[in-house]
Structure 1
Amino acid sequence: MTTIDPASLDLKVGFEIHQQLATKSKLFCNCSCEEAQKYDHSFVRKLRPTQSELGAYDPAAMFEFSKMRTVEYHAALGSSCLVEADEEPPHDVSREALEIALIFSLALHSKVMDEVHVMRKLVIDGSNTTGFQRTMLVASGGYLDVAGKRVSVQSICLEEDAAKLIGDDKGVRKFGLDRLGVPLVEIALEPVTGKPDEIMQVALTLGRLLRASKRVARGLGSIRQDVNVSVQNGAVVEVKGVQQLDQLVKVIEHEMQRQHGLIVIAEKLKERKVDVSKVGDRIEDVTDILGKAQSKIVKKILDGGGLFRAIRVPEFAGMIGYEPYQDIRIGKELGKLVRFYDLDGVFHSDELPNYGITEQEVAAVRSRLQAGSSDAFVIVGGPKDKVGFASDAIIRRLQAAVDGVPAETRAATPDGKTVFLRPRPGAARMYPETDIPTIPITDSMLKALEEKVPRSWDEIVDGLAKKYSLNKKLASQIFDSDYLGVFEEIAGTTKVQPTFVASKLTEDITSLQRQGLDPSVLTDDIIKDVFARLDAGAIAKESVNIIFEKLMKKEVKNIDEAIKIAGVASISDDELSRGLDRIISDNMAVVKEKGMNAQSALMGRAMAEYRGKADGQKINAMVRDKLQKLVK
């Protein structure tokens, strides 16, 4: 990625942190917040937008509705009920969840509302059965101190989490209802400036404050950052679903480059004095022209009964495929845009002839559109009902190109890039909830909660280091990890050294995760079981990482299988001693030649045979003792 100075672009980044709370029940019912192991029933819905009290439709809701998708919900008893299915009114707001939100408000020096009013926020992407998300403003204002700087807080809200996407087939989205209704606190911060890694410290500091309360959920997906990015005082782009801090830096860097690239493109279009009102002034059906094309995508669409439309884009020749930075181009933006209509077939003149579309076919399209040499065109293909919506979206996006960066909502990808998700929501998105009464917040309530405001991160880390004899780095790593609770339980119930436990739960699991392995399979119960076996002498220290790796690779279903397949069942001292005698006997020539210096070579052979079956320090000590007796 080309290096860009954030200061020269006036980079501004605002955060909305969404953190699941560790409560006994969901926000509006008594169902468990635990993830369902399997679903036992399902139902189907189609969601439609409704007008706000101002009589307007929200643009983001209309965009989702235009996809005309069916939504299939999967549920399990215990983790969802009639409230999640929208067959029963919501119950009273969870007092436990409200209490936690108020504690965070006090910790951030925010102004708590005198009354909490539940609102409905329109969401019809299928993630809420009701077509809206319930949210409530708990506090506003306040601040967070980060590395000597004070970051202002905009708002603190308590809301319900959305359903979990479990499948997205063509035309049908599938959601699990076990996550719907889980209490979530949303903390919005004022935009900050600086380098991406400096900005990351803001998210890290806020996350640490939340975890310090020990009242939040942990694990992948339990905390998500929505990142609002803008450059050169341009439009704000909201990026949703950033889950990892290292991903956060990449997302900011990518958006900074993407937005600057779009500004460069806009400047070039302005130099051409492009009249965007003429974009799409001519749209023609070109299905007959592409009928004999050798493109696999074209054939697939035609075989499915689809059609192709071509859109003339005056004075855009060379600009749809132009890349101010690698992979930053309008053509790519259009390709990602049409995918949200479940379409794959979009081509533009800057990349043709290509993809099985010949020069003659390109010339025929250009002729039908009466497009000149300075004009571009875009071809979009698919079912007739979807091509119309997609064509309108393409025209709007091309018209917006002259303005630079469109205000939109994008989704973060695992590699730190972003893709179009939907237009930014408007003021028509929010309206009052009619089924839940307002909740008064009294001074006595707040005074009682002041004692529960969490200590600072430094105080907690120093306490961990002192209590468990950890160095500061390891104490901070275990605190920042998802395993603090299980670490403290293991350290308190076994004789395994806390430093060993902490290093395995942070450094080793992180290393395996960086290899692409899935840490979510290591539940607290599995981790406790592994260390209990170590404490009982059933496995050796070296086997812990091997067992974790087998489980994370999903090569085995349980610990017993991992031990069996990896061959890491602990052996007795007598068996180990006999094996070491054999190894030394087989390598007597090395012993006679090097004496005590042969220990390293013998250890290598011994560890190759007994790694995971016996403690490495024990093997080393026994080899040394046996050598000393021989050398004498």
Structure 2
Amino acid sequence: MTDDLDYEELGLVAGLEIHQQLDTESKLFCQSPTELREPEEATHTIARELHPTKSELGELDEAALEESRVDRTFEYLAYDTTCLVEEDDEPPARVDEEAMNVTLGIADLLDAVVVDQAHVMRKLVIDGSNTSGFQRSMLVAQAGEISTDEGPVGITDVMLEEESAQRVEETEEGVRYSLDRLGIPLVEIGTAPDIRTPEQAYEAAEQIGMLLRSTGAVKRGLGTIRQDVNVSIEAGARVEIKGVQALDDIRDIVANEGSRQVELLDIREELLERDAAVGETTELSHVFEDTDSGVIQSALDSGGTVTAVALYGFDGLVGREIQPDRRLGTEFSDHAKRAGAGGIFHTDELPASGVTEDEVASLNAAVDAGEGDAVAIVAAGGDVAEQAIEAVADRARSAIEGVPEETRGANEGGTTRYLRPLPGAARMYPETDVPPVEPDTSDVLTPELLTERVERYVEEMGLDEGLAEQVAFGRRMVLFEEAVEAGVDPTFAAATLESTLTELSREDVDVESIRDGALLSTLQLVEAGELPKEGVNDVFEALAADASLTAAEAMDEAGVGGTDEAEVREAVAEVVERNAEQVEQQGMGAFSALMGECMGALRGQASGDLVSEVLREEIQKRA
């Protein structure tokens, strides 16, 4: 592998597409709520078979065409909140006003110029992630800019579009999706290809993420934000990498793609020197009639075939590593899998997996492969085996040409895998069911940046800088603001929402299931003196166990209701009386031990400050 790349010398160029779900009440084109549901809550299912359609110019998109070659049925889980728009049984309503206003605020933060009129477009999508076979999208703003330490990065477009359906699982017939996510408003921010290093890519994504969270109107949590990265080097090709979930992966994704393209170019040079070529695909099941390979035998027993292609001049290169733990042969396998096969075998790795030396020799002889050559085989159902080996042959031919333009998927660890060809303009065409929108920026307020919030929390609310940063950048920032506005002490609200909930989560309490309204009510009960601070944990645990409870009901369930001062004095006096000898001997030295006993006797139903005050008075009486 290539380490310590000189990105300037390589001419590395990268751009980002950031997709962020908006936290609106309704979906983009209907009034369905934007809350996610559990699959077991589904009330019914619908099925679709999707096919590519031609653009207005009569063209078929190559990526859509490849997707359509895989014969699949798509099943969708629907719920009591699913509307006819989501099921593609009625036209969409007008664009959600709240979603548009949030997007305009985001455009303002990005210094982007808002368009005079936003036209809804259809983007062809036939992987099943939308029941209609297309995604609705509109350009809202363009020509913005953000700053990084390595220079400015342009913002080419700010799009507002509908989120896709959530993929649940693969089935024997195809793919099962859930419609709860479909239609959630999604903002897409595209940068110019101004990024020159992996570090700058990370910084740009981090900056955009901070601006998005500054609105207080975006969803938080796994899957609510996704980064796509476009990468190329000067002698390579543009590659789009989809679905980078974690910000920290962006550096590795960009670096590994730059390295992958360098390795592929080196392989190309070696193949050209060897005068490499790709042979014709052929069916060679007879070579493996008595094979000990379980994979091959299983395919043959089920009526499948073994297909092969000779890769002349490829010896040693199919097994060459081009990404960490991924080889050129892995690329070939990715293409075979897209055709429905489980993968490939190739002679850089054989004999192995039950394939013998004699079978390898027979295989080479059958396709006239000699020293310096390689052979790839696929064992699968008849049609699948034929399509898969053709896909392998096509990818091998492109290896001789260099780096293919394509769309790839992000893997854990910063590597990538082949998904499909790069989509083209043929997949976009106008939406005729939704009228254009004329964005009104007159009432749009510029959101306060998170960095500015930190300063305000410190200066105006008295939070220390560390806690202020936790709250401002945390997912409960909006709830914190609501609590302070409702009169809750800022330091108590911040510490409870950040520290207390985190500690309970570490103790396996499902704090994510607690509704924001219940959290706010709990804070207000403390502020009103109805719930001692010491009882907050118990209330949260009760709320986590039963999300339908109100804070007051959870307080009763946990048995931590407030106790008046007379009851506190009576309980403390009893504790001091039981420990009279210790009090007489130690005086205030007995305070710590007796404080714990008093709190235990009151079972968290009185504030620590009140108990402390009364205990000191009782000890002083006897000391």
The interval holding the TM-score normalised by the smaller chain is 0.7 to 0.9
1:371 matches 2:372: no
Amino acid at match of 2:30: C
1:178, distance to aligned residue in structure 2 (A): 1.9
Q: Distance in 1 between matches of 2:284 and 2:241?
A: 35
1:331 matches 2:329: yes
Amino acid at match of 2:316: G
Secondary structure at the aligned position of 1:273 is classed as: helix
Secondary structure at the aligned position of 1:67 is classed as: coil
Give runs of aligned pairs for residues 226-305 of structure 1, distance below 5 A: 226-232=228-234, 234-243=236-245, 247-273=246-272, 278-286=277-285, 289=288, 291-295=290-294, 297-305=295-303
What residue is the counterpart of 1:145 in the other structure?
A: 147
Asked if structure 2 preserves the Cα contact closer than 8 Å seen for 1:269 and 1:316, the reply is no
Q: Distance in 2 between matches of 1:286 and 1:519?
A: 57
Secondary structure at the aligned position of 1:320 is classed as: coil
Asked if structure 2 preserves the Cα contact closer than 8 Å seen for 1:265 and 1:402, the reply is no
Asked if structure 2 preserves the Cα contact closer than 8 Å seen for 1:542 and 1:614, the reply is no
For residue 382 of structure 2, the aligned residue among 381, 384, 390 is: 384
Who wins on radius of gyration, i.e. which is larger? Answer: 2
1:139, distance to aligned residue in structure 2 (A): 2.1
Q: Distance in 2 between matches of 1:303 and 1:616?
A: 74
Give runs of aligned pairs for residues 319-358 of structure 1, distance below 5 A: 319-323=317-321, 326-358=324-356
Structure-2 change in CA distance of 1:49 and 1:547 (3 Å): same
Give runs of aligned pairs for residues 21-420 of structure 1, distance below 5 A: 21-37=22-38, 38-81=41-84, 83-146=85-148, 149-193=151-195, 195-232=197-234, 234-243=236-245, 247-273=246-272, 278-286=277-285, 289=288, 291-295=290-294, 297-323=295-321, 326-420=324-418
1:98, distance to aligned residue in structure 2 (A): 2.7
Secondary structure at the aligned position of 1:279 is classed as: strand
Secondary structure at the aligned position of 1:350 is classed as: coil
Number of equivalenced pairs: 608
1:472 matches 2:475: no
Structure-2 change in CA distance of 1:468 and 1:167 (3 Å): farther
Amino acid at match of 1:21: L
RMSD (CA atoms) = 4.6
Report which stretch shifted further, 33-42 or 182-191.
33-42
What residue is the counterpart of 2:4 in the other structure?
A: 4
Which consecutive unaligned segments of at least 5 residues does structure 1 have? Answer: none
Report which stretch shifted further, 451-460 or 48-57.
451-460
Asked if structure 2 preserves the Cα contact closer than 8 Å seen for 1:284 and 1:309, the reply is yes
What residue is the counterpart of 2:18 in the other structure?
A: 17
Asked if structure 1 preserves the Cα contact closer than 8 Å seen for 2:284 and 2:307, the reply is yes
Q: Distance in 2 between matches of 1:330 and 1:310?
A: 17
Amino acid at match of 2:226: R
1:147, distance to aligned residue in structure 2 (A): 5.1
Secondary structure at the aligned position of 2:463 is classed as: coil
What residue is the counterpart of 1:524 in the other structure?
A: 516
Asked if structure 2 preserves the Cα contact closer than 8 Å seen for 1:192 and 1:199, the reply is no
Q: Distance in 1 between matches of 2:526 and 2:369?
A: 74
Amino acid at match of 2:24: T
Q: Distance in 2 between matches of 1:134 and 1:241?
A: 19
Asked if structure 1 preserves the Cα contact closer than 8 Å seen for 2:283 and 2:305, the reply is no
Q: Distance in 1 between matches of 2:297 and 2:591?
A: 68
Q: Deviations over 1:568-626 (max 9, x none)?
A: 98699899999999xx9xxx9xxx9xxx99999x99x99xx99x9799989x989x99x
1:453, distance to aligned residue in structure 2 (A): 2.1
Q: TM-score, normalised by structure 2?
A: 0.81
Report which stretch shifted further, 263-272 or 533-542.
533-542
1:509, distance to aligned residue in structure 2 (A): 6.4
1:92, distance to aligned residue in structure 2 (A): 2.2
Q: Distance in 1 between matches of 2:518 and 2:382?
A: 52
1:422, distance to aligned residue in structure 2 (A): 1.7
Report which stretch shifted further, 473-482 or 160-169.
473-482
Amino acid at match of 1:133: Q
Amino acid at match of 1:437: P
1:361, distance to aligned residue in structure 2 (A): 1.9
Q: TM-score, normalised by structure 1?
A: 0.80
Q: Distance in 2 between matches of 1:276 and 1:171?
A: 43
Q: Distance in 2 between matches of 1:504 and 1:54?
A: 59
Report which stretch shifted further, 456-465 or 312-321.
456-465
Structure-2 change in CA distance of 1:598 and 1:346 (3 Å): farther
Which consecutive unaligned segments of at least 5 residues does structure 2 have? Answer: none
Residue identity (%): 35
